[in-house]
A and B are shown apart, each in its own frame.
Chain A
Amino acid sequence: MSPNITPEVIAKHGITPEEYTRIQAILGRDPNFTELGVFSVMWSEHCSYKNSKPELRKFPTSGPRVLVKAGEENAGVIDIGDGWAVAFKMESHNHPSAVEPFQGAATGVGGIIRDIFTMGARPVFSLDSLRFGPLSEPRNRQLFAGVVSGIAHYGNCIGVPTIGGEVYFDESYNGNPLVNVFCLGVLRHEEIARGAASGIGNPVFYVGAETGRDGLAGAAFASRDLTEESKEDRPAVQVGDPFKEKLLLEACLELLASGCVAGIQDMGAAGLTCSTCETASRGDTGVEIDLALVPKRETGMTPYETLLSESQERMLIIVKLGEEDAVKRIFEKWDLPYAHVGFVRDDGMMRVKNHGETVVEIPAKKLADEAPIYHREVKARPIPAPFDNAQLPETDLQAALPALLADPSIASKEWVWQQYDHMVRNGCVVRPGSDSAVFYIREADKFVAATSDCNSLYCSLDPREGAKAAIAEAARNLACSGAVPLAVTDNLNFGNPHNPENFWQLQQCVEGLAEGCNAFDVPVTGGNVSLYNQSPAGAIDPTPTVGMVGLIESEEHITTQHFQSEGDVIFLLGEIGHEMGGSHFLKVLHGRKEGLPPRVHFATERAIHDALRKLIRMGTVRSAHDCSEGGLAVALAECSFANQLGARVQLTSNEPDAVALFNESQARIILTTDPAKAAQVVSELESIGVPFSRLGVVGGSLLTIVARQTWEWPVADLRAGWSSAIGRWMDHS
């Protein structure tokens, strides 16, 4: 019945001859067809990280607040005090979204939410980090619209608010969009659930959606280049059912609270295969299941198909012996399909039967943990020289600011986040539109801030420095909201690792991220690697997305980027700056992605963030906003929009105005203060000894920047172009 194992079959499974010999050694025999399938998914990059593991070891992963480390379980867990903890993680669903944007993005959301409640945490909010080709391309608009409505569909329905994220548009994402979704959940320390099959003889339950032929071998799919054929790779796209997942979520949390559960594991990539062998491996036990007992949606499914299916909304639950009935009652209350499919064994085997006949028998630990590790060849690309500001092209600066603000990557993302229910659960106290989202975790009475950041233009020019900038910006965004960074999750999106230049980018970015995490004392608690982000046109710009979570000590410290009232005094923390390399000024206005991107000096960054937090604690800060894409001028405009309050500022710099207004040097924050407290701010900053300058005052309906010349724009006009830019592309085309 099942095909014999020819070299072609082996190759089709993405298994190299060396890997095949390794499999023979592990088994002491040839694998059968089903076992070959099992190895192929478990040893895919997506599941085994065989290409990236040596790099990931460079991340700092421990710290006083770390309760569950990266890689130990489905998501890391961080202490937030008073016996409360947060579990969070970021996941990509790039390839599925490229073929079916709505379902691809929706199931991406479902997957990361499952990772979080598998830890025993109640998911409380999400962020989404998105990358597309330019909106001028109809196909890109289609992908963008589909992805956003897919995220909205799943997140809104299940009732987990999407409160922040980012969206960038660049040619390098043509045909290969990035969809990275972050989710955070809350739990008590004692509620941390484990994905281990412990307790020999414990029954193993399957609960959730019936298994169909969905997403056969999606993990392998995610570990290949996107080609024309991948359009034909159709079966790899799954359809999500957020309603089913909502029931599963509530049932699992009720189940975990009941104390009947010995172990729990979601079925994500590689479905039943991954969950059975990983729980066995973590528990140093064996797991034996019979596929005949698995609830199925379709008839005539082979063991191969059943094991490798990636049907969504399914969990594997190891129940404490004797508690079966209590568990069944909960499944039935929530109208969920379930079945008792097997037992925990003592022989360390992943043993899969079909109607009693053994179809798979593999040592679980070897399968899960002994995937081959590859040290890929690296080839450095030349790092560009610093951009010579004397060579700046002639630019009409009056038109430059409105043009930058109307560029989709900088423009308001309102068109996106208005489609997301960001208010459900009554916790979003700083809504999308400020540097970080801030969420009030009611059950814990804590204020958590979160942001996701990555400037992939910097990374394409200088991967290490770009990755450092991503960490610096994330930390800066948290500081601007009044938060102290706690920990990081990351999503490494890169091209094919067999290309030495791509792999060099990965390596450089990982080292840059690691350096940044050490500089801010924030551990990496987990993340996701997505390689093979290529279209026929080539690899994407390296995109090491950073999700950073911070804690705000007291409600009074919550700060937004919006100017608050007429007459407030505006300060700039940091220098006026001068670096134009990798700037959006060059990219958007002159179509040039070039130059050495801004350097990151962590000591300065940290000093400035600490100074800002000190001022916030002293109650002297009315608003704070960092400078990112588009530099100081864009940042000032962004501060003025929400309350439609203009400003008059003076920039003293020996650079030309284009540089003073639009350079993207790092470590810069615009803060405002009550005039009565301005003197206090000055003396405090002087005593701390960080660079700063007094820029001007808030007020009026104009944004006026006095540099060598005086530049003036009506705030209402700037705001109109900025807020409608994406909608104009999407709704009227």
Chain B
Amino acid sequence: MKFAVIRFPGSNCDQDCQRSIDALPGASAEYVWHKETSLAGYDAMVLPGGFSYGDYLRCGAIARFSPIMPAVRAAAAEGKLVIGICNGFQILCEAGLLPGALVRNEKLHFVCRDTWLRVETAETPFTNRCAAGDILKIPVAHGEGRYTADTETLAELNANGQVVLRYTEANGQVSPAANPNGSMENIAGVCNAARNVFGLMPHPDRATEQRLGSEDGRVIFESMLNLSYVA
């Protein structure tokens, strides 16, 4: 399976993503520069973390107008897999490919630490190798990760099982203390209605090796590699 890791100016987790994915059996990951306009030949698109365009104005606000974005949009429409991690999630929200928005952390500080995530649904191409209720230990690192959406949108997300990950305690309890940024309903990751576009603030790309403290992030990419999965 061929992954495109899209490099925006200011991306800084591009290497971490490329290496963690490329190391998986059956996966190969290549960089695609944001000035490109085609994603032909790629099965999955990764929008990595970082500070695209310095995150000036709003995180992802400028990147979403990059030359590559129409191709990302088209790939999403074709049903190809698109995952946005951290800044990538922010870009996908700004581009309207995912509902809601990510705003300044409630405590106003950048926060870098481990978080525990409860898998809310295994019915996505990104979590099909998990079981609903599984707890993943994956770190966050962001200043603007507070997920926000209006009440209707939230209701809809919950109704359609589009909330994929929530911040919880290690034991799976949803609590304010477990929420690193004040996200509504402790939401850490959501997918679109068609379930082929997924955004999350935590960094699975930073949790694929025991030496880094956790391997729990790998299951996200392994799920994407699971060709036998049909929605």
- Touch between A and B in complex, CB under 8 Å? yes
Q: Please indicate the chain B residues that have their CB under 8 angstroms from the CB of A425 in the complex.
A: 15-16
Q: Is A420 a contact partner of B9 (Cβ separation < 8 A)?
A: no
Q: Is B9 a contact partner of A429 (Cβ separation < 8 A)?
A: no
Q: Is B10 a contact partner of A243 (Cβ separation < 8 A)?
A: yes
Q: Is A156 a contact partner of B141 (Cβ separation < 8 A)?
A: yes
Question: When each residue 9-52 of chain B gets 1 if its CB lies under 8 Å from chain A and 0 otherwise, what string results?
Answer: 11011011001100000000000000000000000000001110
Contact of B110 among A152, A423, A426, A440 (CB under 8 A): A152
Q: Is A423 a contact partner of B139 (Cβ separation < 8 A)?
A: yes
Say which size band chain A's interface belongs to.
20 to 34
Q: Is the interface of B mostly helix, strand, loop or mixed?
A: mixed
Q: Is A421 a contact partner of B212 (Cβ separation < 8 A)?
A: no
Find the residue from A158, A244, A423, A442 having the highest chain B CB count within 10 A: A423
Is B103 part of the binding interface, using a Cβ–Cβ cutoff of 8 Å? no
User: Which chain A residue has the least Cβ–Cβ distance from B53?
Assistant: A243
Q: Is the interface of A mostly helix, strand, loop or mixed?
A: mixed
Closest Cβ–Cβ distance, residue B198 to chain A (whole Å): 21
Q: Is A335 a contact partner of B55 (Cβ separation < 8 A)?
A: no
Q: Is B109 a contact partner of A423 (Cβ separation < 8 A)?
A: no
Is A418 part of the binding interface, using a Cβ–Cβ cutoff of 8 Å? yes
Contact of A246 among B9, B107, B211 (CB under 8 A): B9
Question: Known interface pairs A156-B110, A242-B54. Does A423 touch B203 (Cβ–Cβ under 8 Å)?
Answer: yes
Question: When each residue 194-231 of chain B gets 1 if its CB lies under 8 Å from chain A and 0 otherwise, what string results?
Answer: 00000000010110010111000000000000000000
Q: Is B10 a contact partner of A157 (Cβ separation < 8 A)?
A: yes
Q: Please indicate the chain B residues that have their CB under 8 angstroms from the CB of A553 in the complex.
A: none
Question: Known interface pairs A419-B112, A423-B206, A429-B211. Does A241 touch B54 (Cβ–Cβ under 8 Å)?
Answer: yes
Q: Is A418 a contact partner of B20 (Cβ separation < 8 A)?
A: no
Is A334 part of the binding interface, using a Cβ–Cβ cutoff of 8 Å? yes
Is B65 part of the binding interface, using a Cβ–Cβ cutoff of 8 Å? no
Is A731 part of the binding interface, using a Cβ–Cβ cutoff of 8 Å? yes
Question: When each residue 110-131 of chain B gets 1 if its CB lies under 8 Å from chain A and 0 otherwise, what string results?
Answer: 1111000000000000000000
Q: Please indicate the chain A residues that have their CB under 8 angstroms from the CB of B213 in the complex.
A: 431
Q: Please indicate the chain A residues that have their CB under 8 angstroms from the CB of B110 in the complex.
A: 149, 152, 156, 418-421
With A and B bound together, what is the CA distance between A158 and B212 in angstroms? 21
Q: Is A418 a contact partner of B16 (Cβ separation < 8 A)?
A: no
Q: Is A159 a contact partner of B53 (Cβ separation < 8 A)?
A: no
Is A717 part of the binding interface, using a Cβ–Cβ cutoff of 8 Å? no
Q: Please indicate the chain B residues that have their CB under 8 angstroms from the CB of A423 in the complex.
A: 112, 139, 141, 203, 206, 212
With A and B bound together, what is the CA distance between A242 and B143 in angstroms? 15
Closest Cβ–Cβ distance, residue B53 to chain A (whole Å): 7
Q: List CB contacts (< 8 Å) of B160-211 with chain A.
A: 203, 205-206, 209, 211
Q: Please indicate the chain B residues that have their CB under 8 angstroms from the CB of A424 in the complex.
A: 12-13, 16, 49, 141, 206
Q: Is A246 a contact partner of B10 (Cβ separation < 8 A)?
A: yes
Q: Please indicate the chain A residues that have their CB under 8 angstroms from the CB of B54 in the complex.
A: 157, 241-244
Q: Is A243 a contact partner of B56 (Cβ separation < 8 A)?
A: yes
Is A584 part of the binding interface, using a Cβ–Cβ cutoff of 8 Å? no
Q: Is A426 a contact partner of B111 (Cβ separation < 8 A)?
A: no
User: Which chain A residue has the least Cβ–Cβ distance from B139?
Assistant: A423
Closest Cβ–Cβ distance, residue B21 to chain A (whole Å): 12
With A and B bound together, what is the CA distance between A243 and B15 in angstroms? 17
Closest Cβ–Cβ distance, residue A128 to chain B (whole Å): 14
Q: Please indicate the chain A residues that have their CB under 8 angstroms from the CB of B13 in the complex.
A: 159, 424
Q: Please indicate the chain A residues that have their CB under 8 angstroms from the CB of B113 in the complex.
A: 418
Q: Is B112 a contact partner of A243 (Cβ separation < 8 A)?
A: no
Q: Is A426 a contact partner of B107 (Cβ separation < 8 A)?
A: no
Question: When each residue 317-352 of chain A gets 1 if its CB lies under 8 Å from chain B and 0 otherwise, what string results?
Answer: 000000000000000001100000000000000000
Q: Please indicate the chain B residues that have their CB under 8 angstroms from the CB of A242 in the complex.
A: 51, 54
With A and B bound together, what is the CA distance between A95 and B209 in angstroms? 42
Question: Known interface pairs A159-B50, A247-B9. Does A426 touch B112 (Cβ–Cβ under 8 Å)?
Answer: no
Q: Please indicate the chain A residues that have their CB under 8 angstroms from the CB of B112 in the complex.
A: 156, 417-423
Closest Cβ–Cβ distance, residue B140 to chain A (whole Å): 9
Q: Please indicate the chain B residues that have their CB under 8 angstroms from the CB of A417 in the complex.
A: 112
Contact of A243 among B51, B211, B212 (CB under 8 A): B51
Closest Cβ–Cβ distance, residue B170 to chain A (whole Å): 13
Q: List 23 A-B contacts (CB under 8 A).
A: A149-B110, A156-B51, A157-B54, A157-B55, A243-B9, A243-B55, A243-B56, A246-B9, A246-B51, A247-B9, A334-B9, A417-B112, A418-B109, A419-B109, A419-B112, A420-B112, A421-B110, A421-B112, A422-B112, A423-B139, A423-B203, A423-B206, A425-B16
Smallest CB-CB A-B distances: 3 pairs: A159-B12, A243-B54, A157-B51
| Other A-B pairs beyond A152-B110, A424-B13, 20, CB < 8 Å | A159-B13, A243-B9, A243-B10, A244-B54, A246-B12, A247-B9, A247-B10, A418-B110, A418-B112, A419-B109, A419-B112, A420-B112, A423-B203, A423-B212, A426-B16, A426-B209, A426-B212, A429-B211, A429-B212, A731-B107
